[in-house]
Structure 1
Amino acid sequence: MAKHHLDSNYLDPNYEPVVNHSGNLPFREILAARMQRRTVMKGSVGAALASVMGVGLAGCGSDSNGGGTTTGNAANTQLGFKAVATSSANEVVVPEGYSARPFLPWGTPITGSYPAYKPDGTNTGAEQEQQMGMHHDGVHFFPIDLKAGGNSSSEGLLVMNHEYINQSEIHPTGPNYVAGERPADEVRKEIAAHGVSVVHIKRDTEGTWDIVFGSPFNRRITGNTEMDIRGPARGYSKLVTKYSTDATETRGTLNNCAMGPTPWGTYLAAEENWHGYFANSDANQPREQVRHGVGSSSRYDWELAQGGADQYIRFNVTPGTGTATDDYRNEANTYGYMVEIDPFTPESKPQKRTALGRFGHEGVIFAPVTEGEPVVCYSGDDSRFEYIYKFVSAKPYYAATAGGYLLDEGTLYVARFNDDGTGDWLPLDLNNADFKAKVDAAVGTTVSDIVFDGFENQADVLVNTRLAADIAGATPMDRPEWGAVDPNSGQVYFTLTNNSQRTEAQVNAANPNAENRTGHIIRWSENGDDFTATGFDWDIFVFAGEQGTETVVDDEVIVSLTDDNIFNSPDGLWFDYNGRLWIQTDGSDAAPYQNNMMLAANPETREIKRFFVGPVGCEVTGVTSTPDVKTMFVNIQHPDGNWPDASQSRPRDATVIVTRDDGGVVGA
C-alpha cells in the first residue's frame, strides 16, 4: 500500500513536525539580545561563515578555561588517548590501544526458548518477542549487586531501548499488504521489535562478556506489554479506552530514545516520536493530538492488521459513534511519558509516570540525591522549537525507602532563558497563582493554532504539557535532546541538536546562519547550587561545526574546532563516573564530518577529542560503562550495509563493547 498521500518526511522515523506555533520568544533571539556585540567568524577550509560564541557562566566561578566551580579531581577528567580521524569506512574506529567488538545485535535470542536469529528475515513475531529489538538506543549498566549496595564491574544487567524499526530489513521482502491489510504476524513482529531489552551479562576470566542464558532477569518489554498508568493522569477521563475503562492501564511503550537510571536502581524509558504510530482520520482532532502532530495515517499501518485484533486496531484513534469506553480515541493520550521499569523484578509491570509530563521525551537525567531532600530530574522535548523541563518531587528522598512513588507527586517546571544569562523555571501548576493567571488570560485566545478553552484540572495540564508550556512563556529551543549532570560541578548540560527550520528572516547578529544544521551544547548552574531552585545561570559550552568553529568566553577563544574534534548535531550526552563528558552525534555524514561519532570532553578545560567513529549510515547513540569505567558499552543504530557481519546482507543494530588493551580506564 503506497503512502504517497503523506508528507514524504513523515516516513522518516526521526521526523518531528514543527507544531509549536505559540509565538514565544525563540532562544536564538534571546541569545542575540545577550550577545549582540559579540560576533566571531566561523572559519572553515575555504569558507568563512558568521557564527556566535558562548560567554562565561555567571555566578558559578567560571574562568577562562570554562571550568566553573568543581569539587572533583581535575586529573580524573583528562583525556589521555590520541584522537581518531573522521572515517567513512563501514567499521567502528577507536583510538590506538583500544579494542571494540559488536555485542547483542538485533535478533540475538535473550529469553524464553532462545530462538535463533534468521538472516533471511523469516523470524516470526513470537520469536522476535524473545530476541533483542531493533534500533538500539539509550542504555544503562546496572551492577548485579546494586540492590545490596555493591558496584560489580564484571556482572550486571544491561538495559536498553529499541527506538523504531526498518521495515525493509525486518521482513524477508519488506512490509506486505493483502487487500489493503497488513499480515497480522508482520505487525506483531514490528511491535515486538520496539520497546526495551533487559539482558543479564557477565564477564569471564579472560575478559569476554556474554549473556547469562537462562537468567530470570532476561526480559523483553515490547509495544504490547501491559503497563500501569501512575501519577496525576491515572484515572483521568482523557485516558479512558476500551482496554482500560477506568484509565489505569495501557499497553506498550514505543519510540523510546534516551533513558534515565533512577537513584533507586530502576530504568526510565523515554517515549519520543510516539505520535507517528497513531492514525486519526477525523477532520477535527483534539488538542492532545494536534499539538503533537498525529496524522490521518500512521507510520507502519499497524491499525490495518488482518483480523482486526484489539491489540492492533487501538492504533486507530479516530472516534467512533459511541463513547471513549467503546473505542481507542484516547489511546494516544496513554503515550508520551517516561516509563519506569524495574530490571531486578522481572514480574513487575512497567509504570508510566505522568507527573513528568507528556511530550516528546528524549530522556531524563537525575540530579544527585540528598537524604531528606526532594528528587530532581530534567527532560528535553526533542522537536524543533520545543522546551526543556524540570521535575521536583513533593516528597523527600530517603535511600532506605526510595521508589517510583517519588515521581508521582511534585511540580513540573519549564525553562525560560533570559537575555542576561539568567533563567527561570516556570511552574506548570494550577495551584501556582502566576501560572493560573496566565491560563485564565489565555482562555479564548489561539495558542499554537489551538483555540484555548482552559484546563479541567492538573491532569489536563500534564496531558497537554506542551500547550501548558506555551502558555507559561517557555523558551523554544533548537531540539533539546540528551541531558547530563556533571558529577563534580553539578552543572547541567543539554544538547541542542540542530534546527533546519530556521529561515533567512529569522537570522540575527547572534544566530547569523539560516538552517542551523550543526547545533550546540548549553549548560547551566542552579541558583545557590540548589537543584530545587527556580532560577539558574546559563552559558554555551560549545558550538558544533567544521574546522575553525569558535566558542568564545569573555572575548577569549576557548574552543576552536580542529580535525581532531569537528562534529555536528550533538545528540547523546553522558558523564562517566570520573566526570568526563561523552558527546554522541546524529547528523550529516557528508564531508568534513563523515560517519557519526562519539567525542570525549574535559568539562573543566573544554578540551574535546574524537574517540569513536561508527560504521556507515549509523547514529552513535547510547553509552554507559561499568562502575570502574574499564568497559564501555556504545550503541550503534540504523547502520547501512552489512555491518556488523560482512557475511550477511542485512545490517543489524548492535552494542559495541570498548576496552583498553591494557585493562585501564576508558578515556584516561
Structure 2
Amino acid sequence: MGQGFGKAYEPEDGVNTAGNPSIHEVDGGRRHVLRCTSAAVALLMGSHTLTGHAATAAKGKPLGFTGVPVSSADALVVPPEYEAQVLYRWGDATGIAGAAAPSFAADASNGANDQLLQAGMHHDGMEYFPLDKNPRHGLLAINHEYTDDGLLHSDGMSTWTAEKVRKSQAAHGVSVIEVVERGGVWRVMPNSRYARRITAATPMAFAGPAAGHALLQTAADPAGMRPLGTLNNCAAGQTPWGTFLTCEENWNGYFSAADKPTPDELRYGMRAKGFGYRWHEFDERFDAVKNPNEANRFGWVVEIDPQDPAQTPVKRTALGRFKHEGATTTVSRDGHAVVYMGDDERFEYVYKFVSRDKVKPGGLRNNRELLDHGTLYV
C-alpha cells in the first residue's frame, strides 16, 4: 500500500491528495449521526415501546420467492418460481447485417476478426431500447468490461502477439443487439440492421469543453478530436432522448507507465505494469512513456445512438474525466437534463451534471449537443 493524505492505498489505486472529504467519509459521517440519533431516540422511547415495534417489524411481507441454498456448483441457480434463459454469451454472434456469423470455438481459436462480430467478454451495464415502444422487440446495449486473456486465447498468455492484442481489444467495449421475445423465449435477431460492435479500437469523437485540448493531442491525432476506442466499460445509463451512455471505469490498468509515474499518473492509479494486459507491447498507444497523452483520452462517458450503427460514438467531456461508474439521467422540473455519476475509485466523489439547455423532443437529432454545455457539480 501507498500513502496519500493520511489514507492507505492499494497499488492500483489513484492517490488523491486534494484533502477534500470523499463521499465515503461524508456518507460515513452521516451514518454515524443517524446511528447516534437512533440510539438516543430508542433510549427515550423505552424498552416496552421498542419491543412492540420489533414485533411489528418482524411481521413484514416476505420476499415472495423461495431461497436458493448456498452451492459451489458451476451453474446458474434461480428460485423455482423463476426461469433463466441464456441470451447472449461471450462468442455468440452479434447479428450484424451482411456479416457472416462466425461460430464460437470452444478452444478459443477464434481470431480477432471473428471476435469483432461476436459478443465480448464479461458483460456489465446494459440498457433496453424498445423499437416502436414494443416491450418484446427492441435493442439491447451491453458493456463488455474486461477480458480474461487466459481464457480468450488457446494458449493463454504463454506467448504474446499482435493478433492476441487485437482480439483482446475486440472483446472489450459494447454490443448493440436486436432482441425479440416470442412464446416466452428471448433470442438475438440475426442479420439486424441495428447490430454493431464497438471496441477498444473503434473510431470516436470528442465533444464538449475539453475537445481539442493540448492534453488530448497525440502524434496520430494532432487535433485531439478523434480518439480510438472505449474500454473497461462498467455501469451505464439511458438518456430520455434514447441514447446509451457507457462509462469508462478502470482504464488506468491498460497503460504501462514509467517506473516512477508522474503525479498526474499516480492520481489516476497508473503504474509501470498496469493490470498486466500487455497491450503496450504491440500497440504503442498504451505505452504511456512513448504516448503520454493517450491515457487522457480515456476516463469519459461515451454517448452511443443504438438505432444508428453508422453513428460515431462521442466522448462527452463536459461530464468529467474519472473512473466513471454509472450515468443516470433524468429531466429536472424545468426541463434540463441532469446526469448523476459515481467514481469507482476509493476516496473519491459523486458528480452531478446539469445541462445548460433544455431537453427537446425528437431524439438525439435535437439533443446532439445537450451534454456538451452545462455545470458539473462535485
Distance 1:404 1:282 in 2: 42
Amino acid at match of 2:281: L
Distance 2:31 2:102 in 1: 57
Amino acid at match of 2:288: V
Aligned residue number for residue 100 of structure 2: 113
- TM-score, structure 1 length as denominator? 0.49
Aligned residue number for residue 313 of structure 1: 284
Q: Verify: 1:162 aligned to 2:150, yes or no.
A: no
Q: Verify: 1:94 aligned to 2:78, yes or no.
A: yes
C-alpha displacement at 1:28, in angstroms?
5.7
**Contact 1:109–1:131 (Cα < 8 Å) also in 2:** yes
Aligned residue number for residue 135 of structure 2: 153
- From the two aligned structures, give the one with the greater helix fraction: 2
Return the structure number with greater relative CO, CA threshold 8 A, min gap 6.
1
Distance 1:388 1:33 in 2: 20
- 1:457-496 matched pairs, under 5 angstroms: none
**Contact 1:138–1:161 (Cα < 8 Å) also in 2:** yes
Q: Verify: 1:208 aligned to 2:173, yes or no.
A: no
Aligned residue number for residue 413 of structure 1: 377
- Runs of 4+ deviating beyond 4 Å: none
Cα deviation code 1:79-126 (max 9, x no counterpart): 872242342233223333321121211000123221110000111011
Distance 1:100 1:33 in 2: 40
Amino acid at match of 1:349: T
**Contact 2:217–2:293 (Cα < 8 Å) also in 1:** yes
Residues 1:218 and 1:283: Cα distance change in structure 2 (over 3 Å): same
Amino acid at match of 2:29: I
Distance 2:11 2:167 in 1: 23
Q: Verify: 1:293 aligned to 2:272, yes or no.
A: no
SS class of match (1:95): coil
**Contact 1:263–1:369 (Cα < 8 Å) also in 2:** no
- 1:349-388 matched pairs, under 5 angstroms: 349-368=312-331, 373-388=335-350
SS class of match (1:407): helix
Amino acid at match of 2:255: F
Distance 1:313 1:303 in 2: 5
Distance 1:355 1:224 in 2: 23
**Contact 1:259–1:270 (Cα < 8 Å) also in 2:** yes
Residues 1:368 and 1:184: Cα distance change in structure 2 (over 3 Å): same
C-alpha displacement at 1:290, in angstroms?
2.2
**Contact 1:243–1:250 (Cα < 8 Å) also in 2:** no
Residues 1:15 and 1:398: Cα distance change in structure 2 (over 3 Å): farther
C-alpha displacement at 1:167, in angstroms?
1.1
C-alpha displacement at 1:384, in angstroms?
1.4
**Contact 1:83–1:95 (Cα < 8 Å) also in 2:** yes
Q: Verify: 1:136 aligned to 2:136, yes or no.
A: no
Same amino acid, percent of matched pairs:
40
Aligned residue number for residue 19 of structure 1: 15
SS class of match (2:324): coil
Distance 1:266 1:337 in 2: 16
SS class of match (2:312): coil
SS class of match (1:103): coil
C-alpha displacement at 1:403, in angstroms?
2.1
SS class of match (1:98): coil
Aligned residue number for residue 173 of structure 1: 155
Q: Verify: 1:276 aligned to 2:240, yes or no.
A: no
Amino acid at match of 1:166: D
Distance 1:86 1:17 in 2: 35
C-alpha displacement at 1:366, in angstroms?
1.1
Q: Verify: 1:190 aligned to 2:154, yes or no.
A: no
Distance 1:258 1:404 in 2: 22
SS class of match (2:177): strand
C-alpha displacement at 1:153, in angstroms?
1.5
- From the two aligned structures, give the one with the greater strand fraction: 1
- 1:573-652 matched pairs, under 5 angstroms: none
- 1:36-51 matched pairs, under 5 angstroms: 37-38=36-37
C-alpha displacement at 1:29, in angstroms?
5.5
C-alpha displacement at 1:16, in angstroms?
5.1
SS class of match (2:286): coil
Aligned residue number for residue 45 of structure 2: none
C-alpha displacement at 1:32, in angstroms?
6.2
Residues 1:79 and 1:142: Cα distance change in structure 2 (over 3 Å): farther
**Contact 1:109–1:132 (Cα < 8 Å) also in 2:** yes
C-alpha displacement at 1:18, in angstroms?
4.8
Residues 1:393 and 1:28: Cα distance change in structure 2 (over 3 Å): closer
Amino acid at match of 1:170: L
Distance 2:20 2:180 in 1: 50
Cα deviation code 1:347-390 (max 9, x no counterpart): 111000010000000111012455x6211010000121111100
Amino acid at match of 1:143: P
C-alpha displacement at 1:190, in angstroms?
0.4
**Contact 2:65–2:81 (Cα < 8 Å) also in 1:** no
- Choose 30-39 or 340-349, whichever is displaced more: 30-39
Aligned residue number for residue 572 of structure 1: none
- TM-score, structure 2 length as denominator? 0.84
**Contact 2:173–2:199 (Cα < 8 Å) also in 1:** yes
C-alpha displacement at 1:212, in angstroms?
1.4
SS class of match (1:169): helix
RMSD of Structure 2 on Structure 1 (CA): 2.5
Amino acid at match of 1:297: K
**Contact 1:16–1:383 (Cα < 8 Å) also in 2:** no
**Contact 1:340–1:404 (Cα < 8 Å) also in 2:** no
**Contact 2:68–2:79 (Cα < 8 Å) also in 1:** no
Distance 1:15 1:120 in 2: 34
Aligned residue number for residue 545 of structure 1: none
C-alpha displacement at 1:157, in angstroms?
0.6
SS class of match (1:185): helix
**Contact 1:16–1:273 (Cα < 8 Å) also in 2:** no
Q: Which runs of 5+ in 2 are unaligned?
A: 3-9, 43-52, 54-60
